[in-house]
Structure 1
Amino acid sequence: MSAPSFLAFAVRNLTRLCPGGRLHCSGLMAPSSTTRRNMSSKRKMDHLDRTASNSRQNAVYPGRICGIVNESEMVKRLRIAVHPSFSFKAGQWVDFFIPGVETVGGFSMCSCPGLLQREGVIELAVKSTTHPPANWIHTACAVGSEVDMRVGGDFFFDPSPSDPPVDLLLVAGGVGINPLYSILLHTADLLRLQQTSSGQDSNVSSVHLCYSAKNSQELLFKSSITEVCQQFPDKVSCDFHVTQVNTDVDPQLQSSINRGRVTEEELRTHVHPERTLCYLCGPPPMIEAISKTLLNLGLPKDRILFEKWW
């Protein structure tokens, strides 16, 4: 699809989502260079420091907020219209530049590349904190707000057609679900492509998600995750966990939620040293504990990929 037609497609879809048609995607300007904004040299702090050694695209792209929903009491999901040249791989994040806010945010995309191709938008789910970018999203961001973004990160799933099939094991803690949800949605797109392309093999043999949060209300995207599992019952599975054992569990999820942390026994069921590729994202203590367990189960170190965000 050419850039003009792609942008027109995005306009049609996004103005439908925004009250009063206030979003005008045709107003999105061309990507700016890092030289013009000089963002990476003058504003290097927090997220930029932590990810200084990670790969990044050169271009900084404009974006416009075209939808905001409360994913939970503490998490807002943003829908952002982006420039037609914007691209990313499932699992990557963006440097998030907010006009008037000195601190640069770093947020993993919770949408998949397929949504970008179909509708010209990306999505971010951000937890409320006192960190300036997150605080802006929860207190000042509105439909029509403009931001700039630059894609980065070496934590992604982007198989080539010639790559051998893998068994994906995704382990998420809290809002660490964001990049793994992006990967899950991307694998679902790959599986759908396999269904519609006779004889085409998929790069994914199976996917299992282990997802833990303090309580069931903080299990983001749970309905959508369940739908993917139901759509591909022989390929995709999930175990939800709540770690605060005294909290009430959503009655609709009683049968699918485990109390307590992800166990070695659960991981053992989904680990094959030669086929499994594991992606981890969550608090550092969880990442370290799960990584140690996977190594003890015989999974090679180079097949354990992780992203630590706090």
Structure 2
Amino acid sequence: MSTSKICSLSEAIGPVWDGMEIATGGWIFNSQPMALVRQLLRSRIKNLRLTPAPGSIAPDMLIGAGVVASTACVFISFEQFGLAPNFRRAAETGEVEVREMDGPAIAGGLRAGACDLPYMLVPDMATDLPKVNPAGYRPVESKPGERRMLSVPAVQPDLVLLHGQQADALGNVQFFGGAFFDPLLAQAGKRVVVSVDRIVDTDTIRKSNRLTKLPSAFVDAVVELPFGAHPCSSSPLYNMDEPHIREYVKASTDQSSFSRYLESYVYSPATHDAYLDAVGRDHLAEMTGAMSLPAE
């Protein structure tokens, strides 16, 4: 018998606890699970171990809110807007432990987690990463002439937060653009929560099954949240909100001004609808011609 995986935003995040390992998907300013991140912050959780896919505002916001104890990441970047402000400040002050990884190591750790293996082998690229992060890269014995390899530990996040464009009630999630690391994160995670801009019927999913990058077997909960990636894009439904990202970067100049940003856009708007109101629905309408806004 089919069971719906649709739930509310508060139900989707579910039970959380201090010190849990969190992973966020998307890529830079594409399909970041922002509504889920804001809801996670409202839970007042702390001491998270964060493993983000190469991202921007989602991991930076978690770090700036002071809820992250450590992060294993490839990079956190704001591209044309400069360096990730909160991440940089926390790394420089030592407030957050940064375990530097490269793409093959993160992917290898997730593959090991997906296969329930203790580690995965990756090629030794002759970088200084094993010196910088010896716990993340361990040399493997090799014979003369053999390619040098490193073992990386499995990554099995307690909670994975992702954003797709649409899904059905069964939890089959479709991406209209790239899925990035999201399928691998979903396979490795213990609990996978996905926000989508819209819920459609299963017949619609079947008619375009090539877009289904996350079958329901890998998804625990789905939340319908129009503009759930804002201020990032959810292509082709809506574009990145550059003015809001500039506002975020300016607010991140120091902890005091960033605290005011969090109050305005995370804590005071207790619901996603309230967040959309705070951003401005007329402003959001300018970002899209492909989807309609929810009724006020």
The answer to whether TM tops 0.5 is no
TM-score tier, shorter chain, comes to under 0.3
Higher relative contact order (CA 8 A, sep 6+): 2
**Structure with greater proportional strand content:** 1
